[in-house]
Amino acid sequence: MNSIFHFFTACWPRLLGAGICAGGIFAGGFGAAAQPVVLIEEGRPQLSVWSGGVSEPVTEALSNGIELAVKQPPSPRETAASAAAQRETPKSKLAFINTGFENASPLQWQTDSNGTIQVFLLYDYERNSPNRAAGHWHFQLQGEPGADLTLVLHNFDNVYNGRPGVAVSKKSLCYVSPNGKQWKVLPAEFLEGNCLRLRVHLDEPSLYLARLEPYRLSDLQRLLGEIRGHPLVEITEIGRTVEGRPLEIVRVGKPDAPYRVLLRARAHAWEPGGNWVVQGLIRGLLSDDEVARRCLQRCCVYVLPMANKDSVARGRTRFNSLGKDLNRDWDRPADERLAPENHALEAWIQRMIERGARPHFAMDLHNDEGGGLHLSRPPIDGVERHLERMKRFEQLLRRHTWFTEGSSGSKFRNPGTLGEGLLERYGIDACILEFNCNWIAGLKQYPSGEAWEQFGRGLREVFYDYFGNPESTQPPTGSEKARNGQ
């Protein structure tokens, strides 16, 4: 192998000039008839070209231990036989995998000799970190109606908080839709090597596949268009994403209501559950039924509906367009250049505090493989009182929604998350709510946009009862510095 190294370091620049590249040797280096290839046989470098002339760089390569095997080009009979063999090869029933649409996942694919379609998701990476993530898939198969296809999805070997982690399991599912609107569950088979096998049938010329029922930017735009102009709604742009997309805070209710709630969704692009939940909550609050009227008499709800718009649009999994995790680094001021999405929300919170309208409660909505209420325990004054309030909040979730998963353990802490950061820095009772992406135990069914919207409507009564308890209306937790928003 030393001769290979010597060949590439000593001769490569001149060989490029002669027409040699990593995939072979261009005809220009050896004459018009050349159709070359570079071979390595039995560990020994061998430079093979069709006859037609040998240039000076190849002569030099020979002097450096490279063997040159001169071969004749294939005869017309051999060429015809090869073409006939290709014509006899069964045509694949898959014509194309389309990723040229909103929220489609970046990927590579090929059909192997057995006809199985191997799909390789592309990781997105956190800057200045070993962390990487691939867990979102959303693409369209195009092929012959009636075709039965087998796909194997690869690249779920993530790195999370510096540790290896697999993004799928034996519980993982896939969703399919003929039109990108009506979705149903497709079973997935977890394979050795952390892959998923999917078997699909094409009833029509195309079929969409996704990790979960998608919620796209266009879905959010339809919601905003639906509620814009309502007397109880104010939509305020608070900043822009890395790529310049607007970030909105949606206020539902009267700003002089006694209590204020802040919700954030879609900090991680692969997790659409939070979007469906806030859509259900917003529509429920504007339904003008008795539950909505009671809730809005007691509290005003503020929603950042889609924090990571760039990555949702581009079909990425976790990080923003500059490699920042938007559910990290909330224990310090946000970097305006690298994480403008977090900076915008942080500045909005500061402005609310300055005018005496600090949120009383905040919740960050996510998806994962298990579900549950994540309650962090930073070393601050009053954390036990905070945990008592969160215990009551959990009880109300169980009473008014299908929530059953429970909360994090007594020693749980996740520094830098929005839940802990808002509590520690601003004295806001805050938590993270994860929705199981594989199963809704409280409904005994697979997840769906409709089920998550149902959960959102149930939050109206949760908030009404939460703020009806005197303990829930105590001054914010934390140090005096945090209470002053410093």
Q: Is 421 inside a domain boundary?
A: yes
For residue 130, give the amino acid letter. P
Q: Is 55 inside a domain boundary?
A: yes
Q: Is 122 inside a domain boundary?
A: yes
Whole-number pLDDT of residue 388: 97
Q: Is 473 inside a domain boundary?
A: yes
pLDDT tens digits along 307-333: 999 999 999 999 999 999 999 999 999
User: Rg (Cα) of the chain, in Å, rounded?
Assistant: 29
Taking the whole predicted model, whether its pTM rises above 0.85 is answered as: no
Do 55 and 176 fall within a single domain? no
How far is it, in rounded angstroms, from Cα 356 to Cα 360?
Answer: 11
Q: Encoding tokens for residue 377? A: 């325990």
Whole-number pLDDT of residue 92: 81
Dihedral (CA of 199, 371, 431, 453) sign: positive
Q: Is 88 inside a domain boundary?
A: no
Q: Domain tally for the chain?
A: 3
For the purposes of burial, counting CB atoms within 10 Å of the CB of 363, is it exposed (0-12), middle (13-18) or buried (19 or more)? Answer: buried
Q: Which residues contact residue 67 at a Cβ distance below 8 angstroms, ignoring those fewer than 6 apart?
A: 44, 45, 46, 47
How far is it, in rounded angstroms, from Cα 49 to Cα 474?
Answer: 82
pLDDT tens digits along 137-146: 999 999 999 9
Q: Which residues in the chain show pLDDT less than 50?
A: 1-64, 66-70, 87-89, 479-481, 483, 485-486
CA-nearest of 403, 378, 413, 382 to 161 is 413
- Residue 130 exposure: Cα atoms within 13 Å on the Cβ side: 9
How far is it, in rounded angstroms, from Cα 148 to Cα 92?
Answer: 11
77-113: b (≥16 Cβ within 10 Å) or e:
eeeeeeeeeeeeeeeebbeebebeeebbbbbebeeee
Do 378 and 321 fall within a single domain? yes
How far is it, in rounded angstroms, from Cα 280 to Cα 84?
Answer: 59
Alpha helices by DSSP H, listed for 273-405, are 273-285, 290-298, 309-314, 340-354, 383-400
- Provide the β-strand partners of residue 297: none
For the purposes of burial, counting CB atoms within 10 Å of the CB of 435, is it exposed (0-12), middle (13-18) or buried (19 or more)? Answer: buried
Q: Encoding tokens for residue 259? A: 């209590």
End-to-end CA distance of the chain: 62
Cβ(266)–Cβ(307) below 8 Å:
yes
Do 77 and 117 fall within a single domain? no
Q: Which residues contact residue 137 at a Cβ distance below 8 angstroms, ignoring those fewer than 6 apart?
A: 105, 107, 119, 121, 153, 174, 209, 210, 211
Three-state DSSP at 199 gives: strand
How far is it, in rounded angstroms, from Cα 209 to Cα 199?
Answer: 11
Do 171 and 262 fall within a single domain? no
Q: What range does the domain containing 295 cover? A: 217-483
Task: Read off φ and ψ for residue 204, nearest 5 degrees.
Answer: -125, 175
Whole-number pLDDT of residue 81: 64
Q: Which residues contact residue 271 at a Cβ distance below 8 angstroms, ignoring those fewer than 6 apart?
A: 212, 365, 366, 367, 368, 437
User: The domain that contains 206 carries what CATH number?
Assistant: 2.60.40.3120
Owner of token pair 């979705």 = 183
Do 205 and 234 fall within a single domain? no
For residue 72, give the amino acid letter. Q
Do 14 and 127 fall within a single domain? no
Do 72 and 107 fall within a single domain? no
Do 287 and 319 fall within a single domain? yes
Whole-number pLDDT of residue 77: 72
Three-state DSSP at 25 gives: strand
Do 61 and 149 fall within a single domain? no
Do 75 and 116 fall within a single domain? no
Whole-number pLDDT of residue 89: 46
Last residue of a domain, one of 62, 83, 104: 83
Alpha carbon 424 to chain centroid, angstroms: 27
Do 179 and 290 fall within a single domain? no
Whole-number pLDDT of residue 469: 84
User: The domain that contains 453 carries what CATH number?
Assistant: 3.40.630.10
Last residue of a domain, one of 187, 210, 233: 210
Q: Is 28 inside a domain boundary?
A: yes
Cβ(166)–Cβ(194) below 8 Å:
yes
Q: Is 300 inside a domain boundary?
A: yes
For the purposes of burial, counting CB atoms within 10 Å of the CB of 172, is it exposed (0-12), middle (13-18) or buried (19 or more)? Answer: buried
Last residue of a domain, one of 210, 235, 262: 210
The vertex-388 CA angle with 385 and 393, nearest 5°, equals 130
Question: Could you count the other beta carbons within 10 Å of the beta carbon of residue 163?
Answer: 9
Q: Is 233 inside a domain boundary?
A: yes
Do 245 and 147 fall within a single domain? no
